Amino acid sequence: MMLRSKLIIFLTPFALFLTLVPWILPGYPVLLLLMIALNVAFAQGWNLCFSTAGLLSLGHALFAGISGYVAAAICNAGASIYVSILVGAFTSMAFAFVVSPLLMRLRGIFFAVGTLILCHSLQLWFLHWGEAGRSLGIRVRIYPGYSLNNCYYLAWTVVLIAIILSWIVGKSKWGLAARSIRDDVERSEAIGVPTLLVRTAIFAIGAFIAGLVGGVRVAYLLAINPSLAFGFEQSLWPILAVILGGVGTLTGPILGGAIITLLQHVLINFPEVSMLITGAILIVVMLFLPEGLIGILKMLLQRGNLLRTRSP
Per-position DSSP letters for 29-56, written without gaps between them = HHHHHHHHHHHHHHHHHHHIIIIIH---
174 vs 203: which has the higher pLDDT? 203
Alpha-carbon separation of residue 301 from 3, 163, 259, 304 (angstroms): 7, 23, 21, 5
- What would the pLDDT profile of 45-84 be if each residue is shown by its tens digit? 999 999 998 999 999 999 999 999 999 999 999 999 999 9
| 3-state secondary structure (DSSP) of residue 80 | coil
Other CB atoms within a 10 A radius of the CB of residue 94 amount to 14
pTM of the full structure? 0.90
Q: Which amino acid is at 170?
A: G
Strand extents, DSSP E, the chain: 138-139, 223-224
Q: Is the dihedral of CA 299, 305, 309, 312 positive or negative?
A: positive
Share of the chain above pLDDT 90, in %: 50
At 305 the pLDDT is 55
Predicted local distance difference test score (pLDDT) of residue 211:
96
pLDDT digits (tens, 9 = 90+) for 74-94: 999 999 999 999 999 999 999
How confident is the model over 260-303, as pLDDT tens digits?
898 888 877 776 777 777 778 778 877 777 777 887 777 766 66
Q: What is the pLDDT of residue 12?
A: 72
**In whole angstroms, what is the distance from residue 85 CA to residue 90 CA?**
9
Task: Report the range of poorest mean pLDDT among 6-10, 72-76, 135-139, 244-248.
Answer: 6-10
Give 306's pLDDT tier (boundaries 50, 70, 90).
very low
- Break the chain into its structural domains and give their ranges: 41-230, 234-312
172: amino acid identity, one letter: S
Residue 286 neighbours by CB under 8 Å, 6+ apart:
243
CB 193 within 8 A of CB 180: yes
